[in-house]
Chains A and B, each alone.
Chain A
Amino acid sequence: MSGRTLLTEHRMEPGTGIALPVMRGQVLRISQVVGGQCADFNAFNLHDYKEHFHTGRTRHMHGMNPTTGAHLWSAPPRDRPMLTILADTCGSNDVMYPRCSAMLFDMHFGLSPHTNCHDIQAEAQRAYALTPDDVHDSFNFWMNTGIDGDGNPFIAPNRSREGDFVDLLAQIDVLAVPNVCGADVMQTSNFALKPLLVQVFEGTEEDHTHLEPNEPRFPRTQRSVSDFRQPVIKADRALVPDPGYAPEFTNVPLLTQRVPVTLDAAQAAALDDMVATGLFGTDRAEALRFAFFAWYIQTHMQGPRHFRAPAAAT
């Protein structure tokens, strides 16, 4: 336990979840009581619920199955770590699948009502006056997933055992909302719903060495409400046009210019071959632009990269 002081403890029974604040520097631990149980998870900025966890950015930064060392990122334009996985004794998590919902069990099995993560999340979040529409795509702890050889996602049996846990360091003050996944007729939790233990600890000095700086790492692009042209949260449900709206899209008009490039005959022929494939543009100039940036992202792009080298052009 590394000398952490326990602040809160709660046993989540099957079909339930809980919303609890976790302040920057504190550690949220979710543990398997029996084993084999998936936990869905939502997180909100405790002081601004419109900033919340984003599976997409997390998937982008850490892949489909994030584990120790990965951050749980907030959605654009906030784009910052909300929590960090300090420990993960099983290493079998998912950010590919959405939360299960009532509709799924009705569609698949004709079951209604039925425990499901969306409704459990909504009910847990209601403790903080959030609505069912505020539930967002979940981080799925102990959900064993993958992609098969045909590119299709799949859910495999749960691999967690009694005592497995994940430790999440809060990078900002968050409302953390774990729930016991309600899918008892799927492999997600090995066809049985089991309790999970949730604990909040005061972080230790060692834990705090993993804290990100308070200041944004990319202050030009990690935006906050003070940067918004429209900072007011809508309180009515209907959508009506703003009569004062004047679009201010970034860098628009997107001006272009033509850059002359001198080629030798072999390069020109190679570009012709690229054009002939139909994949890289309709003329030499477009093929050259493709070639240049394909090389550029291979050699100069920072951060996680999600591309494969293009197939041979010739």
Chain B
Amino acid sequence: MDDAVIVEVELNMQQMELVERLCAAEGLPEPGAALAVGLAAYLAAQAGVTA
């Protein structure tokens, strides 16, 4: 990915449980992928709000 940026998100163990559950349900390879999916959906929804 051009201009890719990596950020490290701090999650506590309870939050991790939800993220890992999401990974299992959606077939996502690792927690970072789940966070990326949620971020993309959030930003898309926000774009809809502002459109």
Partner of A254, one of B12, B19, B49: B12
Tell me the nearest residue of chain B to A255, going by C-beta: B13
Partner of A267, one of B10, B32, B39: B39
> Complex Cα distance A300/B18, Å?
10
| B42 pairs with A262, CB closer than 8 A | no
> Complex Cα distance A207/B14, Å?
40
**Which residues of chain A come closer than 8 Å to B8, judged between CB atoms?**
258-261, 285
How far, in Å, is A302 (CB) from chain B's closest CB? 12
Tell me the residues in window 18-38 of chain B with beta carbons closer than 8 Å to chain A beta carbons.
18-19, 22, 31-32, 34-36, 38
| B7 pairs with A261, CB closer than 8 A | yes
Q: Size class of B's contact patch?
A: 20 to 34
- Known A261-B35, A262-B1, A263-B36; judge A256-B43 contact (CB<8 A): no
- Known A262-B36, A292-B35, A300-B22; judge A285-B9 contact (CB<8 A): yes
6 contacts between A and B (CB under 8 A): A256-B10, A259-B16, A259-B32, A285-B8, A312-B49, A312-B50
| A288 pairs with B4, CB closer than 8 A | no
> Complex Cα distance A312/B6, Å?
24
**Which residues of chain A come closer than 8 Å to B19, judged between CB atoms?**
259, 292
Tell me the residues in window 246-284 of chain A with beta carbons closer than 8 Å to chain B beta carbons.
251, 254-265, 267-268, 270-271, 283-284
| B9 pairs with A288, CB closer than 8 A | yes
**Which residues of chain A come closer than 8 Å to B40, judged between CB atoms?**
267
**Which residues of chain A come closer than 8 Å to B38, judged between CB atoms?**
291-293, 295-296
B interface list, Cβ under 8 A from A: 1-16, 18-19, 22, 31-32, 34-36, 38-43, 45-46, 49-50
**Which residues of chain B come closer than 8 Å to A309, judged between CB atoms?**
45, 49
- Known A270-B43, A291-B38, A300-B22; judge A261-B4 contact (CB<8 A): no
How far, in Å, is A272 (CB) from chain B's closest CB? 10
| A312 pairs with B41, CB closer than 8 A | no
* Further pairs besides A263-B6, A300-B18: 10, Cβ < 8 Å: A261-B35, A267-B5, A267-B43, A271-B7, A284-B5, A292-B38, A296-B38, A299-B41, A309-B49, A313-B43
**Which residues of chain B come closer than 8 Å to A267, judged between CB atoms?**
5, 39-40, 43
Partner of B31, one of A259, A265, A295: A259
| B42 pairs with A260, CB closer than 8 A | no
How far, in Å, is B49 (CB) from chain A's closest CB? 5
